[in-house]
Amino acid sequence: MAAEPSFKNISFIDPKDGTRWRAVRNRRCWLCGGGGGVATREERIGSVMDHWSSGPVDQNTDDWLHVSSESLGARSNEEEEQQEEQQEQEGEGEGEEERGGEQKEDRPPKLKSKLVSAWNSLKYGWSLKQKSHFGKSSPVIILGQSFQLNQSVDRERFHYSFSSLLWLTYRRGFPALAGCSLTTDSGWGCVLRTGQMLLAQSLLLHLLPPGWTWSLGYPGVRDDLDLPSTPGGRGGGGGGRAPRKSSSRRRRSLGSQLDLRLEASHRRVVSWFGDHAAAPFGVHRLVELGRSSGKRAGDWYGPSIVAHILRKAVAAASADIPNLAVYVAQDCTIYLEDVRRLCREPPSRGGSLRGGSPSSSWKSILLLVPVRLGGQDLNPDYISCVKKLLMLDCCVGIIGGKPKHSLYFIGFQEDHLLYLDPHYCQPTVDVKRDNFPLESFHCRYPRKISFSRMDPSCTFGFYAKKQKDFESMCSAVSEALSTFAKYPMFIFSEGHSEETRGPSDPPTQTGTAGSSSVDEFVLL
């Protein structure tokens, strides 16, 4: 008689609505359910995935923001991190054969896709860990903004600012990627998704006014045009007479018109990251551009490779975004003349007016700087410098993470980084439809991780809209880098790189104090 498989019961929290679920794992799969009862494997997996994709979202700030772990009797961040590490080590070798997208003869394709999605959603980040807790005593920093959580106004600002960031996660059920049968990026596309989030934040800054936040629910009545005409009211007849039809002479308020335009721009940015072949920054397009770097669907992409893929994607989309350029630093060096030359290039002919006028003499610039901040582990001497960079308004985040687990770092509180996690598999949204749902592209639950767990390999992003902003950015970033002047994370250099330098160009001179040798700043 065959031995019974060993099962392991694990409870976890649904990231959307806080519902506690119980997962039962054997050597082959995860079975999930909210309660008791007997169900087939297909029914139970389908039930939990449908619940995750359609569950209600709580908009109460107090439910997602716990300001004191001691007062609530919750586990400390260290205990949560230790338990999460233990879970990752236990699941490190399991499910690897599920990642390649190979169809097994004894398992239906749809069931296989759901099993892979459920496995990766449970394995990475969302299982066994409750919502992160934030203290009142120290400020929370998010991309240059500071929030004091002991003040109700700042708590509300924090809520809206975090919820306005675009959250791009694993998706399942999209059209098959070119050259393979994969219909999900679950388990291998986390760095691509992290890079998408950094680019999305840059595009929001590029196309929307400063300080824009996404309203979690527009009010039903915005101005007098939405108000029904009533007897005795303004614009209506009095004395019981029928109201006059004066709506043809009424106009929407300026604020309402701006809301509609801003929401249209927000929706357009989201659609550019759709999971179909025509989306300029979707997974299909990024995988296609990665082929020139020897990558294909199902491979692991590093932060440096993703930076170059994003540069190619923005250059190819110049018809939609003519006034934005992307520069990727070489050997931890930003060559200022190369950046200025790139920003002064005229936009392509026939380009759209999105993002500015084609006649502008200066393009907005997104700087991507791949670095390595240590050997196997993060050098703690760099932590203060990372904090100072995240405090700058020009910083749009970090493509980083912990080993084998990419995260989009957006800020910090004390010794913990704040992040958005792409390791949550959601159904694909058809962004080609009018008024497609936006809720799955925004996250309401901020999470954090200790600086000590940060992988040293990462890519920093900085955005400057105008030429004066670029010059100010260079000055502010250089000042932040001076925190660790002996071995800066990266440097600015006046002049051109070896690849772009012409015969009449002067020799390049390093613009950062410390040493004139670039090699000295590259940590092996």
Active site positions, annotated: 190, 421, 423
Per-residue tokens: 85: 């590490």
User: Phi, psi (5° rounding) for residue 99?
Assistant: -80, -25
Say how far apart CA 55 and CA 16 lie, in whole Å: 7
Instruction: Detail the DSSP E strand segments found in 167-277.
Output: 171-172
| DSSP 8-state class, residue 360 | -
**What is the DSSP code string of 280-307?**
TTSHHHHHHHHGGGT--TTS---HHHHH
Say how far apart CA 95 and CA 92 lie, in whole Å: 8
For 301-314, letters b (16+ CB in 10 Å) and e give bbbbbbbbbbbbbb
Per-residue CA distances from 453 to 11, 41, 133, 248, 300 (Å): 24, 36, 18, 61, 20
Work out the burial of residue 216: count CB atoms within 10 Å of its CB; fewer than 13 is exposed, 13-18 middle, 19 or more buried.
middle
Say how far apart CA 25 and CA 44 lie, in whole Å: 13
User: Phi, psi (5° rounding) for residue 466?
Assistant: -120, 170
Helices then strands, each counted (H, E), the chain: 13, 17
Say how far apart CA 439 and CA 520 lie, in whole Å: 46
Per-residue tokens: 353: 């007016």
* 3-class SS of residue 185: coil
Where do we find the tokens 């069931």?
111
Residue 500: CB atoms within 10 A of its CB come to 14
User: Phi, psi (5° rounding) for residue 342?
Assistant: -65, -40
Q: Which residues contact 93 (CB under 8 A, 6 or more apart)?
A: none
Per-residue tokens: 337: 């003349």
Cβ 172 vs Cβ 186: under 8 Å: yes
> Nearest-CA neighbor of 301 among 459, 485, 164, 428?
459
**What is the DSSP code string of 432-485?**
TSTT---GGGB----EEEEGGG--SEEEEEEEESSHHHHHHHHHHHHHHHGGG-
Say how far apart CA 332 and CA 347 lie, in whole Å: 28
